[in-house]
């Protein structure tokens, strides 16, 4: 995990994407990513839920096992799903299950509020990636995916969250939908890398949901994503070609 601090010191960017299945994990790993995350975004882009708040630990374990079979060199991080890290003891117990499923590190949402959980995990020898800013597991309480850190007061709260996560022993921290200037300040204040999603270009690294990057979830693409492919359209075209090819010749029947 020290590698990530050194990477930051050298000014090298950290690259990270999500995976939820074996072939995607293997492809991402072969392409040379630093971190592959089994995110609880699994709920939306794979399981068809409205948000991440219905994702269960069993679902995370099932998909972490699949991803672990495909990852040889990237660091494999798995999300702690909602309701599974309310206390330090519960966080450690849940994380041990994810590590048993093949994760090498875990991620949880929260800063100052979850410093005790992060400390307990690090003491138990489980590497932890923090996640502050917009917290998708709170999307229902907050009424949407809203930009964080716009005002000076909000920026201070986020800076305190970043510091708490670092002091508790995290090796990196995700900044989700944080105002670019605030993300820059947090990045400058911390020794561990900040990994941004919708938080501008000043972060030490970037993370995206793979389905957004490759255009595999065409019904919703966050504003900050610039897709690099249109896999949904490829699937539609291949399916139509298959239907046409199959239906082109009538099957011979007894009457022929
Ligand atoms: O669940 C997820 O996919 C995430 C990120 C993309 C940061 O937490």
Query: Which of 59, 109, 166, 176 is the catalytic position?
Result: 176
The mean pLDDT value for 132-160 works out to 96
Residues 131, 143: Cα–Cα separation, whole Å: 19
Q: Which phi and psi angles does 37 have, rounded to 5°?
A: -110, 125
Among protein residues, the one whose CA lies closest to atom 4 of ligand 1: 39
Q: Answer whether residue 2 shows pLDDT above 90.
A: no
Among protein residues, the one whose CA lies closest to atom 2 of ligand 1: 39
143's CB contacts (< 8 A; 6+ apart) are none
Residues 164, 169: Cα–Cα separation, whole Å: 9
Check if 12 is active-site. no
Torsion of CA 138, 142, 148, 151, to 10 degrees: -140
CB 4 within 8 A of CB 14: yes
Strand 205-208 and strand 14-18: the pairing is parallel
The mean pLDDT value for 177-195 works out to 98
- Residue 170, classed as helix, strand or coil, is coil
Residues 191, 78: Cα–Cα separation, whole Å: 23
CB 122 within 8 A of CB 116: no
pLDDT, residue 1, reads: 73
The mean pLDDT value for 100-120 works out to 98
Furthest C-alpha separation in the chain: 80
Q: Answer whether residue 23 shows pLDDT above 90.
A: yes
The mean pLDDT value for 49-71 works out to 98
- Give the percent of the chain with pLDDT over 70: 100
The mean pLDDT value for 155-180 works out to 98
Task: State both tokens at 114.
Answer: 């979850």
DSSP string, 98-138: HHHTT-SEEE--BSGGGHHHHHHHHHTT--EEEEEES-GGG
Closest by CA position to 195, among listed 136, 131, 110: 131
Please work out whether the CB of residue 209 comes within 6 Å of at least one atom of ligand 1: yes
- Give distance in angstroms: CA of 109 to centre of ligand 1: 10
At residue 58's C-alpha, the angle toward residues 57 and 64, to 5°, is 85
List the beta strands (DSSP E) in the chain.
Answer: 14-18, 35-38, 75-79, 105-107, 128-133, 172-176, 194-197, 205-208
pLDDT, residue 112, reads: 98
Mutate to test the pocket of ligand 1, among 41, 145, 172, 217 (most ligand atoms within 8 A of CB): 41
Give the predicted TM-score (pTM) of the model.
0.96
CB 127 within 8 A of CB 173: no
Q: Answer whether residue 27 shows pLDDT above 80.
A: yes
What residues does 52 pair with on adjacent strands?
none
């Amino acid at each position: 995990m020290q590698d990530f601090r050194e990477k930051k010191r050298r000014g090298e960017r950290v690259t990270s994407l999500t995976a939820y299945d074996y072939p995607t994990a293997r492809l991402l790993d072969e392409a040379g990513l630093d971190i592959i995350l089994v995110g609880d975004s699994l709920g939306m882009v794979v399981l068809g839920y409205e948000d991440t708040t219905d994702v269960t630990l069993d679902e995370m374990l099932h998909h972490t096992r699949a991803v672990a079979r495909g990852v040889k060199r990237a660091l494999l991080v798995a999300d702690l799903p909602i309701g599974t890290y309310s206390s330090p003891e519960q966080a450690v117990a849940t994380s041990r299950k994810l590590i048993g499923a093949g994760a090498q590190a875990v991620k949880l949402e929260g800063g100052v509020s979850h410093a005790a959980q992060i400390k307990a995990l690090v003491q138990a020898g489980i590497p932890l990636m923090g996640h502050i800013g917009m917290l998708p597991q709170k999307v229902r309480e907050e009424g949407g995916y809203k930009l964080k850190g716009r005002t000076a007061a909000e920026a201070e709260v986020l800076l305190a969250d970043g510091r708490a996560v670092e002091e508790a022993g995290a090796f990196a921290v995700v900044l989700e939908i944080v105002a670019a200037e605030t993300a820059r300040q947090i990045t400058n204040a911390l020794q561990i890398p900040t990994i941004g999603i919708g938080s501008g270009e000043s972060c030490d690294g970037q993370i995206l949901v793979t389905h957004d990057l490759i255009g595999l979830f065409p019904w919703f693409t966050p504003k900050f994503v610039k897709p690099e492919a249109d896999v949904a359209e490829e699937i539609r075209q291949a399916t139509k070609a298959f239907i046409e090819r199959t239906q082109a010749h009538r099957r011979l029947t007894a009457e022929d």
